[in-house]
């Protein structure tokens, strides 16, 4: 079943259920109209009755929430195609979503704070941060693990928001059902759509489309292929591919059974049908959090399980949902229908300066752009910063914080120096969340992360916004590999530097900022002195010269300097309405300048928060990597294709003699630390310095020291 068909079926079921209950429901303006806990999926107590300090036992609540929005409300009118969604008898547009809640059995023993993890494609990723396991349905005592959040007494919640997410084979994925947009006369909406297709295997024979084709006439579609990102695409003739059925839900190569070439880049442009109103996912999170924070019960008398409990709200996001929250703020969804702040504190991990491209017709919210993937989607659009600036290419003045500050800008007019507007900003500031934007080195290399804290011309923003801080976790990759990683599709072993110790410390700093007014550590990011700019090239790529970066020439390690750059794309005249008339666009627009941190003589970032594996290293760790030849890597000496979210872990030689024998310019472990005790001392010193700066917690400092003592470094 295609994603669009699946969503349509879920939408029809949700709307039918809501209509059935609507006969008895009172007229209400509440955004969450029904909040239904499923006893069969819930558990009290959970974690096998395990208790957590003075907080006691926790319980698990799973179920379904039903909501509705008024398409005429200006807060909801920003949702693309909301005016074309079906409406109920009250003139509202309906949606339904899964929810998952972990809370103290006795709320009075909790800390009155709500931790909302904005899930990633339906999945929970908070486990490494919390020191826990259990995947999408943590249940056992062992699943609770270190229980960082439970020991502090937080209530935790998750909700479906991503229309592309599925429930998965075990049914635990968090989903949302939203309606299909139709023309006012009920006919199907069609429009241009685009699929970027790469399979890192040699067995795939068909590609499922996000949206079904409006026609299976192959003359109305184009399929191309290329081996490397810098190659010119070759058109595959109509005799070389076909739709797999009259429904137009998937394509395959011909003759039937032909496999897609491993790691080759295929691109499919066609006319799609039946777009979903994907932007309702923003309203869903807004309404869910506001309900838990303020409501006593739903329209049917079902109790809010956190009623009268929530004093402060926080979100934690990893990757895709961090980009979602960037747009959530930009579009003004951090104010509920009563004008109250929804989220008090945001900890975004690896969101970069990008959005999610979800508030568009034929949205594909699962996509993300990196240096070898998904370049032509509407993910990274101006504005990139919280402060408002003028786009040098369009003249538009905008910033992410405008709606929450009550200062929507007029097109082409910079109003930052208007005293009256400064007064209005002060009056409305309390709808803006306090935000910690934390990124890995990978976000700077493959998602132009520096755009978060530079103006559109590439200049440093000299002063942090009052409510936002920015941090680079030096030499960290996007999704950290396990403790015994392999190269995977890359040329080198994956980076093992764990970001979670820093994230835990920063989360506590965020909580203190929100609840106590204690400001967090100052921003730690590259600037013009510690950063090096890329040179823009074609196909969404740039190059960072090796000499300018300072990266050493390490035997057996290739360097290409490939970096993702951000173009101003032309998606057509209705882009501001969420409609892409030009899809895909061409790489014909100008490029917003971006940069990465310079590196030290070992190849490790000099800017940002240098965790002990970087400050007291045993290897060069990078946020970038290159694909191996078997997985589409380019020719040696050329513009080699990047390995997307992966970094590198390139070990130092143990002895001076060993490094001289292979010509390695980096000091050996022996030259650095002299002995195992010297290494442990270096790790301890680095960790304690970070603790003093509130960038590590005491328990994580001790974990670093214990791990160093248990290691075989110089034994």
Mind listing the pLDDT tens digit for each residue in 561-607?
A: 999 999 999 999 999 999 999 999 999 889 999 999 999 999 999 99
Cα 485 from Cα 496, distance rounded (Å): 7
Pairing of strands 312-318, 113-118: parallel
Q: What are the two backbone dihedrals, phi and then psi, of residue 64, each rounded to the nearest 5 degrees?
A: -135, 135
> In terms of Cα–Cα distance, which of 275, 273, 274, 282 is closest to 97?
282
> In terms of Cα–Cα distance, which of 362, 345, 374 is closest to 469?
345
Count of C-beta atoms within a 10 Å radius of residue 683:
26
pLDDT at 377 (0 to 100): 97
pLDDT tens for 12-28 read 333 333 333 333 444 44
* pLDDT interval class at 298 (50, 70, 90): very high
pLDDT at 337 (0 to 100): 87
Between CA 461 and CA 467, with CA 465 as vertex, the angle to 5 degrees is 155
Rounded average pLDDT over 689-712:
98
Residue 713 has pLDDT above 90, yes or no: yes
Residue 425 has pLDDT above 60, yes or no: no
C-beta separation of 501 from 473 below 8 A: no
* pLDDT interval class at 125 (50, 70, 90): very high
> In terms of Cα–Cα distance, which of 276, 278, 274, 258 is closest to 266?
258
Residue 30 has pLDDT above 50, yes or no: no
Residue 419 has pLDDT above 50, yes or no: no
pLDDT at 408 (0 to 100): 58
pLDDT at 501 (0 to 100): 98
pLDDT tens for 247-266 read 999 999 999 999 999 999 99
DSSP 259: P
Share of the chain above pLDDT 70, in %: 92
Rounded average pLDDT over 40-65:
98
Cα 248 from Cα 257, distance rounded (Å): 18
pLDDT tens for 313-343 read 999 999 999 999 999 999 999 999 899 999 9
C-beta separation of 617 from 607 below 8 A: no
Cα 559 from Cα 176, distance rounded (Å): 43
Residue 151 structure tokens: 């020991």
Cα 643 from Cα 629, distance rounded (Å): 11
pLDDT at 7 (0 to 100): 40
Residue 188 structure tokens: 């199907």
* More confident: 641 or 21: 641
Cα 466 from Cα 433, distance rounded (Å): 11
* pLDDT interval class at 8 (50, 70, 90): very low
C-beta separation of 77 from 101 below 8 A: no
Give the 3-state secondary structure of residue 671. Answer: helix
pLDDT at 639 (0 to 100): 74
**H and E: helices and strands count for the chain:** 17, 29
Instruction: Tell me, letter by letter, the H, E, C secondary structure of 503-551.
Output: HHHHHHHHHHHHHHCCCCCCCECCCCCCEEECEECCCCEEECCHHHHCC
Which range is least confidently modeled, 27-36, 159-168, 331-340, 553-562?
Answer: 27-36
pLDDT tens for 474-500 read 999 998 766 678 999 999 999 999 999
Share of the chain above pLDDT 90, in %: 86
pLDDT at 481 (0 to 100): 65
* pLDDT interval class at 535 (50, 70, 90): confident
pLDDT tens for 381-418 read 999 999 999 999 999 999 999 999 876 544 333 333 33
Mean pLDDT of the chain, nearest integer: 92
> In terms of Cα–Cα distance, which of 310, 314, 312, 332 is closest to 428?
332
C-beta separation of 262 from 631 below 8 A: yes
Residue 258 structure tokens: 């032909």
Cα 163 from Cα 364, distance rounded (Å): 9
C-beta separation of 460 from 466 below 8 A: no
Residues belonging to the chain: 715
pLDDT at 313 (0 to 100): 98
Cα 395 from Cα 404, distance rounded (Å): 22
Give the 3-state secondary structure of residue 348. Answer: strand
DSSP 99: E
pLDDT at 482 (0 to 100): 65
Hunting for tokens 């804290």 — which residue is that?
453
Q: What are the two backbone dihedrals, phi and then psi, of residue 230, each rounded to the nearest 5 degrees?
A: -85, -5
Residue 179 has pLDDT above 70, yes or no: yes
């Amino acid at each position: 079943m295609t994603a669009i068909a699946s969503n349509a079926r879920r939408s029809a079921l949700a709307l039918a259920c809501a209509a059935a209950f609507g006969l008895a429901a009172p007229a209400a303006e509440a955004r969450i109209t029904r909040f239904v806990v499923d006893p069969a999926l819930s558990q009290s107590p959970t974690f096998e009755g395990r208790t957590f300090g003075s907080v006691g036992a926790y319980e698990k609540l799973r179920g379904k929430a039903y909501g509705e929005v008024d398409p005429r409300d200006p807060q909801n009118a920003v949702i693309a195609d909301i005016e074309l969604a079906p409406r109920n008898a009250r003139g509202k547009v309906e949606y339904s979503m899964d929810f998952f809640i972990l809370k103290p059995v006795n709320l009075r023993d909790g800390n009155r704070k709500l931790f909302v993890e904005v899930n990633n494609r339906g999945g929970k990723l908070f486990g490494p941060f919390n020191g826990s396991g259990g995947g999408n349905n943590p249940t056992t005592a062992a699943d609770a693990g270190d229980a960082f959040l439970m020991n502090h007494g937080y209530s935790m919640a998750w909700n479906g928001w991503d229309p592309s997410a599925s429930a998965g084979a075990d049914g635990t994925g968090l989903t949302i059902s939203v309606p299909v947009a139709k023309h006012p006369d009920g006919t199907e909406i069609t429009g241009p759509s685009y699929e970027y297709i790469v399979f890192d295997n040699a067995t795939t024979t068909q590609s499922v489309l996000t949206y079904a084709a409006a026609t299976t006439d192959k003359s109305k579609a184009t399929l191309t292929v290329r081996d490397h990102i810098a190659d010119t695409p070759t058109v595959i003739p109509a005799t070389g591919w076909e739709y797999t059925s009259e429904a137009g839900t998937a394509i395959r190569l011909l003759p039937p059974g032909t496999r897609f070439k491993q790691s080759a880049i295929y691109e499919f442009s066609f006319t799609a049908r039946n777009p979903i109103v994907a932007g309702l996912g923003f309203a869903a999170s807004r309404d869910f959090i506001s309900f838990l924070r303020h409501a006593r019960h739903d329209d049917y008398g079902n109790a809010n399980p956190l009623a009268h409990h929530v004093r402060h709200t926080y979100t934690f996001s990893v990757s895709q949902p961090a980009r979602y929250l960037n747009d959530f703020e930009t579009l003004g969804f951090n104010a509920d229908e009563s004008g109250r702040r929804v989220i008090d504190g945001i900890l975004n991990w690896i969101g970069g300066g990008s959005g999610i491209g979800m508030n568009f017709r034929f949205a594909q919210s699962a996509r993300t752009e990196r240096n070898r993937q998904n370049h032509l989607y509407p993910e990274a659009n101006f504005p990139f910063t919280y402060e408002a600036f003028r786009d040098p290419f369009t003249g538009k003045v905008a910033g992410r914080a405008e709606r929450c500050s009550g200062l929507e800008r007029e097109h082409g007019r910079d109003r930052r120096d208007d005293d009256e507007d400064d007064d209005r900003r002060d009056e409305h500031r309390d709808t803006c969340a306090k935000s910690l934007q934390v990124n890995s080195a990978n976000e700077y290399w493959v998602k132009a992360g520096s755009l978060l804290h530079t103006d559109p011309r590439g200049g440093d923003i000299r002063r942090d916004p009052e409510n936002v801080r920015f941090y680079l976790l030096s030499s960290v990759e996007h999704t950290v590999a396990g403790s015994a990683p392999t190269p995977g599709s890359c040329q080198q072993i994956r980076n093992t530097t764990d970001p979670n110790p820093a994230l835990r410390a920063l989360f506590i700093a965020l909580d203190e900022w929100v609840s106590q007014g204690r400001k967090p550590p100052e921003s730690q990011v590259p600037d013009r002195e510690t950063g090096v700019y890329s040179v823009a090239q074609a196909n969404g790529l740039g190059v960072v010269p090796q000499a300018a970066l300072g990266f050493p020439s390490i035997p057996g390690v290739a360097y290409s300097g490939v970096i993702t750059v951000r173009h101003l794309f032309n998606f057509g005249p209705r882009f501001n309405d969420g409609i892409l008339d030009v899809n895909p666009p061409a790489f014909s627009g100008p490029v917003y300048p971006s940069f990465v941190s310079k590196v030290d003589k070992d190849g490790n970032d000099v800017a940002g928060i240098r965790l002990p594996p970087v400050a007291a290293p045993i290897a060069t760790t990078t946020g970038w990597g290159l694909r191996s030849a078997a997985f589409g890597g380019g020719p040696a000496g050329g513009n080699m294709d990047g390995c997307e979210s992966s970094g590198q872990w390139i070990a130092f030689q143990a002895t001076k003699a060993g490094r001289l024998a292979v010509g390695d310019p980096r000091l050996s472990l022996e030259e650095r630390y002299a002995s195992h005790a010297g290494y442990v001392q270096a790790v301890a010193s680095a960790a304690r310095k970070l603790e003093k700066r509130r960038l590590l917690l005491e328990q994580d400092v001790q974990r670093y020291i214990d791990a160093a003592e248990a290691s075989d470094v110089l034994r």
